[in-house]
């Protein structure tokens, strides 16, 4: 049988409508958007249309959107760019212990450049306490970086409250929205965000394209220097075809967001309830019970290693939350920070649904899991 894909938080297939939008810019509209002749006209116009489509999804102005190669570059650019631009004002950044490596790795790098970083804990649901953010702010704090939604357990952070705290203290706020973009509403104004990272391959656009929102007026030092592309904010000839794909994916997500959110939540909840009914106390749901991405189901099969679960049901493509090495269990940094015990964490499996997931596939997945594990 065809493998059931339940790993949409890892990556998504490219939407056929996105493919259709991309193709002309790989063939007839191949010109450099910086060219003054007619071959550059359509690519330049397409770039600006895509920028507007992304801005509509995020609730900002199109001039505040910078095209990147993905969320990793966006987060690196945000963190390093602010640290460099505000070096004379302070050298302290606040983040959480459950951030994606695209945030944590550049922060580790910045610590070598004499930037102080505070890594805030989370509670058992994976939630950052806004009061802890407030208490961590010092006179040297220049930036707070807290992800919008966690990629493993799906917990949605109180970014609106955190962003307000940042603004009240005249501190900039960055959020990694790689997992939330296209799944739940995004509004940088409501979130009080000054910078936001996103990527294409989590919302049905190709891999290798993303965007960084930078609020107008925010001082920022570019990560990539060279010619004057992207208003001198990112050197290098733009990847027009993929930018068009990202714009189209954002437009599709925006037009279908409420319908998608409602339908995928119903399907995810049905999946969750079926597993709880079948496995009882042998299964534990991780993450916040309500403030969670509507497509994400992170569970622990108590007493069975997550890797063993997926080995027994090779017809399901999903992710584990722990690695086994020479008889020992190494939990992910997210599960450790949440205080998940090794006994429960070893059985962690993340199922993430998408817009191409069908009820029939989920029903089959339940049947395969119960047949293999009960």
60 tagged catalytic: no
Distance CA 27, CA 48 (A): 19
What global pTM score does this model have? 0.96
The pLDDT of residue 325: 47
Instruction: Enter the DSSP assignment of 234.
Output: S
Pairing label, strands 141-145, 92-96: parallel
The pLDDT of residue 326: 47
Query: If you write DSSP's letter for every residue of 20-83 in order, what string do you get?
Result: HHHGGGTTT--S-TT-SSHHHHHHHHHHHHHHHHHHHHHTS-GGGEEEESSHHHHHHHHHHHHH
Element holding 241 (H helix, E strand): helix 240-279
The pLDDT of residue 321: 77
Selected catalytic residue, list 324, 366, 368, 372: 324
User: Which residue has tokens 């810019």?
Assistant: 25
Distance CA 318, CA 298 (A): 10
Produce one character per residue of 12-36: b if its CB has 16 or more CB atoms within 10 Å, e if not: bebbeebeebbeebeeebebebeee
Start-end ranges of CATH 3.40.640.10 in the chain? 16-253
The pLDDT of residue 117: 98
Distance CA 127, CA 146 (A): 10
The pLDDT of residue 1: 78
Sign of CA dihedral 223, 228, 229, 231: positive
Which CATH number does the domain 4-10+257-373 belong to among 2.60.40.10, 3.40.50.2300, 3.90.1150.10, 1.20.1640.10? Answer: 3.90.1150.10
Which of left, alpha, beta for 34 (phi over 0: left; psi -120 to 50: alpha)? alpha
Residues of the chain with pLDDT under 70: 322-329
CATH 3.30.1490.20 applies to domain 16-253: no
The pLDDT of residue 327: 53
The pLDDT of residue 329: 64
Of 77, 80, 56, nearest to 66 by C-alpha is 77
How far apart, in Å, are the Cα atoms of 148 and each of 2, 77, 95, 157, 292?
A: 33, 17, 12, 5, 10
Start-end ranges of CATH 3.90.1150.10 in the chain? 4-10+257-373
Task: Report the residue count for the chain.
Answer: 374
CB count in 10 Å sphere of residue 283:
21
């Amino acid at each position: 049988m065809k493998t059931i894909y339940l790993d949409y938080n890892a990556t998504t297939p490219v939407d056929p409508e996105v493919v259709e939008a991309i193709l002309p810019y790989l063939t007839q509209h191949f010109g450099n958007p910086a060219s003054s002749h007619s071959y550059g006209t359509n690519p330049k116009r397409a770039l600006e249309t895509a920028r507007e489509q992304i801005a509509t999804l995020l609730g900002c102005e199109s001039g505040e959107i910078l095209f990147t190669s993905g969320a990793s570059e966006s987060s690196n650019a945000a963190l390093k760019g602010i640290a460099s631009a505000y070096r004379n004002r302070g050298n302290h950044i606040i983040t959480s212990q459950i951030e994606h490596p695209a945030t944590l790795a550049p922060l580790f790098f910045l610590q070598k450049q004499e930037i102080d970083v505070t890594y805030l804990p989370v509670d058992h649901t994976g939630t950052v306490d806004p009061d802890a953010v407030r208490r961590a702010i010092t006179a040297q704090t220049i930036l707070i970086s807290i992800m919008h939604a966690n990629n493993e357990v799906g917990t949605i952070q109180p970014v609106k409250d955190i962003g307000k705290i940042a603004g009240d203290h005249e501190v900039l706020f960055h959020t990694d929205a790689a997992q939330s973009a296209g799944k739940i509403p995004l509004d940088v104004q409501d979130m009080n965000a000054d910078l936001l990272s996103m990527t294409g391959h989590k919302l049905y656009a190709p891999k290798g394209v993303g965007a960084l929102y930078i609020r107008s007026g925010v001082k920022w030092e570019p990560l990539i220097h060279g010619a004057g592309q992207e208003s001198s904010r990112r050197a290098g000839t733009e990847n027009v075809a993929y930018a068009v794909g990202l714009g189209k994916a954002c437009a599709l997500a925006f037009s279908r967001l409420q319908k998608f959110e409602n339908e995928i939540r119903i399907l995810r909840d049905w999946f969750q309830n079926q597993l709880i009914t079948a496995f009882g106390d042998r299964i534990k749901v991780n993450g916040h019970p309500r403030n969670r991405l509507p497509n994400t189901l992170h569970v622990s099969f108590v007493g069975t290693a997550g890797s063993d679960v997926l080995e027994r049901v090779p017809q399901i493509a999903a992710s584990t939350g722990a690695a086994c090495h020479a008889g020992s269990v190494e939990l992910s940094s997210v599960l450790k920070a949440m205080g998940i015990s090794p006994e429960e964490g070893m059985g962690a499996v993340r199922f993430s649904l998408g817009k191409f997931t069908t009820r029939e596939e989920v029903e089959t997945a339940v049947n395969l899991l119960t047949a293999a594990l009960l």
